[in-house]
């Protein structure tokens, strides 16, 4: 079932600016992951944050997790035109690796 909500649904920025995307979920989780999808293509795993972590970094990516608010954010710093894609959060509540995806944010980075 679909439970994640992301905002904004679409985000358009200039190259070099930072992009922030938010995600909310409804049930308790073991971890939350962020994926990237170029138009009509498969998913690329970006980063995973566990329920006992509050912040995680990977290159230009910064993810936060607030389990009290059941929300997460993905920050992409110094954006590039190549970052243009849809970004999805996906929550996992058990050990069976079953993911529930959010609705996604379409990010457009203008050169």
Partner 1 sequence: GAVVSQHPSWVICKSGTSVKIECRSLDFQATTMFWYRQFPKQSLMLMATSNEGSKATYEQGVEKDKFLINHASLTLSTLTVTSAHPEDSSFYICSARGSVGPGANVLTFGAGSRLTVL
Nearest to residue 111, comparing CAs of 16, 4, 7? Answer: 16
Residues 23-51, buried b or exposed e (16+ Cβ, 10 A)?
bbbeeebebbbbbbeeeeeeeeebbebee
- From the list 24-32, 51-59, 73-81, 93-101, the region that binds partner 1 by CB under 8 A is 93-101
Give the x/- contact pattern for partner 1 in 1-20, rule: CB under 8 A.
xx-x----------------
Taking CB under 8 A as the criterion, the residue among 72, 84, 91, 100 binding partner 1 is 100
Q: Is 47 an interacting residue with respect to partner 1 (CB under 8 A)? A: no
Residue ranges that bind partner 1, judged by CB under 8 A: 1-2, 4, 35, 40-45, 88, 96-104, 106
């Amino acid at each position: 079932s679909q439970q994640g909500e992301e905002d904004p649904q679409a985000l358009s920025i200039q190259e070099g600016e930072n992009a922030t995307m938010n995600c909310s979920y409804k049930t308790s989780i073991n971890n939350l992951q962020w994926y990237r999808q170029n138009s009509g293509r498969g998913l690329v795993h970006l980063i995973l944050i566990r329920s006992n972590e509050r912040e995680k970094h990977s290159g230009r990516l910064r993810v936060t997790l607030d389990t009290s608010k059941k929300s997460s954010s993905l920050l992409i710093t110094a954006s590039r035109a190549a970052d243009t894609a849809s970004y999805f959060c996906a929550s996992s509540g058990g050990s069976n690796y079953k993911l529930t995806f959010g609705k996604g944010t379409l990010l457009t980075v203008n050169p």
